């Protein structure tokens, strides 16, 4: 029961004084499922349980495996201005393919009276061939093998029975962690340059040195964390806390929630991030008893940095509504969202441009705003106001069709740009659950350039994208 909309993005050739946003991950769930579910990242990160390899005397050993392959074609990259290759040439059209394999292992030991010890490891081996992506984050014939997860942890089990089972969960190492729907914290790895696989984005763990303490005393959930992103996303070290009140449907991650968080970026290779304070308030998946098909969500983020020479005063927010027609053929779902990400003001010493930080992408139409704009344009989640309409239908139990319509406008017109209209984008997606383990997806998209977008990018053509992807999960 989700509101139909949430999205995000990154950019490509950004001006040198603009922070390069973090690339959201591509581990998606079928769009139709997403529109019926609570907008929480964790739902897409655990599509199905791992396979139990050994279980005896409190010891459980599980294995998992994911493989993905995708092919993408983009015409008129950057509205025809093209992408500059390492040898100095300009490519207006980019065609490339990506693939990866990701095996994982998990070990748990349930003690008789001292909780549960656990640990896990996940490796990703992947790469890109062809021209490289349309943003220039990767070039052809790039790829390598990395450890995405390597962590240990402890859950309290029944040790603190008065608080509930597993009321305390402590973990350390390379691990996954997200807040809410991944609006600002969702992914710690960029999947770019030598890693390849920018579009598929199979790596999502926070790096070595990350630590998370989770506390669950229903209906209250809290997190304390230290997170470290990878070097391609500025090696940020983030300290913070998160507090949520979860209610509504049964099942933990599927609940509606009211929450807030505070975090501080202690270290970063990006000057405006080091010393930044971030405040976040949100309401996710709220329902109204008199309108059971309606879901409402909203979120607000404030960024502040008073460090000399790196002052920041930026904000972002969104409001969204989705409705599911559960008793109508093909189960139509419709949604609308308005989002605003502040832009920099001319003539001030501080930066008012919102920094997208480490957003996530759990499904179609979340924090990746368009398969063209969100993937490759700097007008994704900074200095932009976005209207979005999303419609999805499910003609069969295994097939979901989704249409996403976007209108992009500058929050503040950049220097030399006289029009506030960046452009419009349409994405048409189909998801086919071919088997219990195989998901096949295809997308066609087109970005219709506005006058402001043409002036900003220096191109004057509309861009198109065609994508196909298959993901195998065990």
Q: pLDDT digit string (tens) for 100-115?
A: 999 999 999 999 989 9
CATH architecture of 31-473: Beta Barrel (2.40)
| Contact partners, residue 361, CB within 8 Å, separation at least 6 | 7, 8, 24, 25, 26, 27, 28, 182, 186, 201, 367, 368
Of 36 and 376, the structure prediction assigns the larger pLDDT to 376
| Mean predicted confidence (pLDDT) in 264-289 | 96
Q: How confident is the model at residue 87 (pLDDT cuts 50, 70, 90)?
A: confident
Q: What confidence score (pLDDT) does residue 370 get? A: 93
Phi, psi of 195 (to 5 degrees): -70, -25
| Mean predicted confidence (pLDDT) in 259-276 | 97
406-432 pLDDT, tens per residue? 999 999 999 999 999 999 999 999 999
| Mean predicted confidence (pLDDT) in 73-80 | 96
Q: CB of 196 within 8 A of CB of 101?
A: no
Of 121 and 38, the structure prediction assigns the larger pLDDT to 121
Distance, in Å, from the CA atom of 37 to the CA atom of 49, rounded to the nearest integer, reads 18
232 SS3 class: helix
| Mean predicted confidence (pLDDT) in 430-436 | 96
| Mean predicted confidence (pLDDT) in 154-171 | 94
| Mean predicted confidence (pLDDT) in 243-253 | 72
Distance, in Å, from the CA atom of 137 to the CA atom of 197, rounded to the nearest integer, reads 10
Q: What confidence score (pLDDT) does residue 49 get? A: 64
452-470 pLDDT, tens per residue? 999 999 999 999 999 999 9
Domain ranges of the chain: 31-473
User: What torsion do the CA atoms of 289, 291, 295, 297 make, to the nearest 10 degrees?
Assistant: -70
Give the chain's mean pLDDT.
88
Distance, in Å, from the CA atom of 272 to the CA atom of 234, rounded to the nearest integer, reads 11
Lowest mean pLDDT among 118-122, 219-223, 288-292, 311-315: 288-292
296 burial via Cβ count (<10 Å: 0-12, 13-18, 19+): middle
| Mean predicted confidence (pLDDT) in 200-228 | 96
Tell me the DSSP string of 387-444.
EEEEEEEEEETTEEEEEEEEEEE-SSPPTT----EEEEEEEEEEEEE-SSSEEEEEEE
Q: What confidence score (pLDDT) does residue 380 get? A: 84
Q: What predicted TM-score, i.e. pTM, was given to this entire model? A: 0.88
| Mean predicted confidence (pLDDT) in 10-39 | 36
176-207 pLDDT, tens per residue? 999 998 999 999 998 888 888 999 999 999 99
| Mean predicted confidence (pLDDT) in 282-303 | 95
Asked if pLDDT for residue 289 goes beyond 50, the answer is: yes
| Mean predicted confidence (pLDDT) in 247-272 | 84
Q: What confidence score (pLDDT) does residue 12 get? A: 33
Angle at 272 between CA 267 and CA 276, to 5 degrees: 60
Q: What confidence score (pLDDT) does residue 48 get? A: 58
Q: How confident is the model at residue 141 (pLDDT cuts 50, 70, 90)?
A: confident
Q: What confidence score (pLDDT) does residue 43 get? A: 27
320-374 pLDDT, tens per residue? 999 999 899 999 999 999 999 999 998 899 999 999 999 888 778 788 889 999 9
| Mean predicted confidence (pLDDT) in 117-122 | 98
35-47 pLDDT, tens per residue? 333 332 222 333 4
128 SS3 class: strand
Q: What confidence score (pLDDT) does residue 360 get? A: 84
């Amino acid at each position: 029961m989700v509101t139909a909309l949430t999205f995000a993005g990154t950019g490509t050739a950004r001006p040198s004084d603009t922070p390069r946003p973090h690339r959201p991950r591509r581990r998606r769930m079928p769009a139709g499922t997403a529109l019926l579910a609570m907008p929480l990242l964790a739902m897409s990160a655990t599509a199905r349980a791992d396979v139990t390899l050994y279980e005896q005397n409190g010891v459980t050993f599980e294995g998992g495996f994911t493989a993905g392959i995708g092919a993408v074609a983009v015409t008129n990259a950057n509205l025809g201005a093209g992408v500059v290759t390492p040898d100095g040439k300009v490519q207006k059209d980019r065609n490339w393919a990506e693939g990866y394999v990701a095996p994982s292992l998990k070990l748990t030991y349930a003690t008789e009276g001292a909780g549960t010890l656990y640990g896990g490891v996940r490796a990703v081996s992947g790469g890109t061939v062809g021209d490289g992506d349309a943003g220039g984050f990767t070039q052809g014939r790039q790829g390598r093998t990395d450890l995405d997860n390597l962590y240990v942890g402890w859950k309290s089990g029944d040790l603190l029975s008065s608080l509930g089972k597993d009321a305390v969960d402590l973990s350390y190492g390379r691990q996954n962690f997200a807040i809410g729907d991944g609006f600002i914290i969702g992914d710690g790895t960029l999947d770019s340059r030598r890693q390849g696989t920018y579009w598929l984005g199979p790596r999502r763990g926070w790096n070595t040195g990350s630590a998370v303490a989770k506390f669950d005393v229903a209906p209250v959930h809290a997190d304390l964390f230290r997170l470290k992103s990878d070097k391609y996303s500025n090696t940020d070290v983030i300290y913070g806390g998160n507090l949520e009140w979860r209610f509504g449907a049964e099942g933990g991650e599927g609940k509606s929630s009211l929450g807030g968080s505070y975090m501080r970026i202690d270290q970063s290779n990006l000057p405006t991030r080091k010393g930044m304070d971030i405040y976040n308030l949100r309401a996710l998946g709220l329902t109204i008893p008199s309108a059971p098909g309606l879901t409402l969500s909203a979120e607000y983020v404030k960024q502040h940095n008073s460090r000399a020479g790196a002052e920041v005063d930026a904000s972002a927010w969104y409001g969204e509504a989705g409705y599911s027609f559960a008793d109508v053929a093909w189960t139509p779902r419709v949604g609308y969202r308005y989002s605003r990400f502040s832009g920099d003001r001319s003539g001030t010493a501080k930066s008012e441009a919102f920094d997208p930080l480490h957003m996530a992408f759990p499904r179609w139409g979340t924090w990746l705003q368009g398969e063209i704009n969100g993937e490759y344009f700097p007008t994704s989640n900074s200095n932009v106001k976005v209207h979005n309409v999303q419609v999805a239908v499910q003609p069969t139990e295994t097939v979901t069709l989704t249409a996403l319509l976007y209108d992009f406008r500058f929050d503040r017109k950049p220097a030399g740009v006289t029009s506030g209209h960046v452009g419009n984008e349409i994405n048409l997606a189909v998801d086919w659950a071919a088997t219990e383990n195989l998901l096949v997806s295809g997308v066609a998209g087109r970005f219709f350039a506005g006058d402001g977008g043409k002036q900003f990018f220096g191109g004057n053509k509309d861009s198109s994208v065609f994508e196909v992807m298959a993901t195998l999960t065990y």
